[in-house]
């Protein structure tokens, strides 16, 4: 009985914490994305994106921890964002992430391609199990990334043809094990 009561209290506390963290996020759907071991992509389908802002929340579990012991440890994985047109290496805007094994947290960055030129800007970090929120706003000439009170603006030509870009592992290497990312967007 005491164990059941404890679990109920923990569940209620968790829901209250989630609600508090997501109060500024326009939640349309909740999904758990899985990147299988030996893969890059969590999904292969394209979904049109027709708004100029993207607010979302995310949570990583322990599966986000990995260690390569080489320069690929610093490669940026992708969380969520959009691409203009069909080629993500031409014009795209995404939040990126990577596991920092020294500090035991996940680094969150703005990750863009503008006319084929890649840019990465570190915005902050989050911890395993922590629910965090992020936002992107686009105009015809730029994209603004917002994370933990930090804003970063990147010049980027808008296009009428926009698509969501979902979680992706890599850089060069594929997922060393199954990786799970929880998103509310």
* Segment 35-69, tens digit of pLDDT: 999 999 998 777 888 888 999 999 999 999 999 99
* Segment 144-156, tens digit of pLDDT: 999 999 999 999 8
Residue 117 within any structural domain of the chain: yes
Residue 6 within any structural domain of the chain: no
CATH number of the domain where residue 106 is located: 2.60.120.200
As for how many domains the chain has, the answer is 1
Residue 171 within any structural domain of the chain: yes
Residue 56 within any structural domain of the chain: yes
pTM of the model: 0.83
DSSP of 136-174: EEE-SSEEEEEETTEEEEEE----S-EEEE--B--SSSP
Residue 1 within any structural domain of the chain: no
State which residues form the domain around 140. Answer: 26-184
Residue 21 within any structural domain of the chain: no
Residue 85 within any structural domain of the chain: yes
């Amino acid at each position: 009985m005491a164990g059941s009561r404890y679990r109920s209290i923990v569940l209620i506390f968790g829901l209250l914490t989630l609600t508090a963290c997501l109060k500024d996020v326009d939640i349309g759907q909740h999904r758990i994305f899985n990147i299988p071991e030996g893969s890059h992509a969590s999904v292969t389908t394209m979904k049109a994106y027709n708004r100029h802002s993207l607010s979302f929340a995310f949570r990583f579990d322990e599966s986000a921890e990995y260690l390569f012991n080489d320069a690929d440890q610093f490669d940026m994985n992708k969380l969520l964002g959009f691409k203009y047109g069909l080629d993500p290496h031409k014009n795209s805007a995404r939040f990126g992430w990577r596991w920092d094994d020294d500090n035991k947290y996940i680094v969150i960055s703005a990750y863009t391609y503008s006319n084929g030129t890649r840019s990465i800007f570190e915005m902050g970090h989050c911890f395993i199990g922590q629910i965090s929120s992020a936002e992107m706003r686009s105009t015809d000439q730029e994209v603004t990334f917002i994370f933990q009170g930090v804003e970063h603006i990147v010049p980027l030509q808008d296009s009428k043809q926009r698509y969501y870009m979902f979680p992706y592992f890599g850089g060069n290497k594929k997922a060393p094990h199954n990786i799970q990312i929880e998103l509310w967007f």
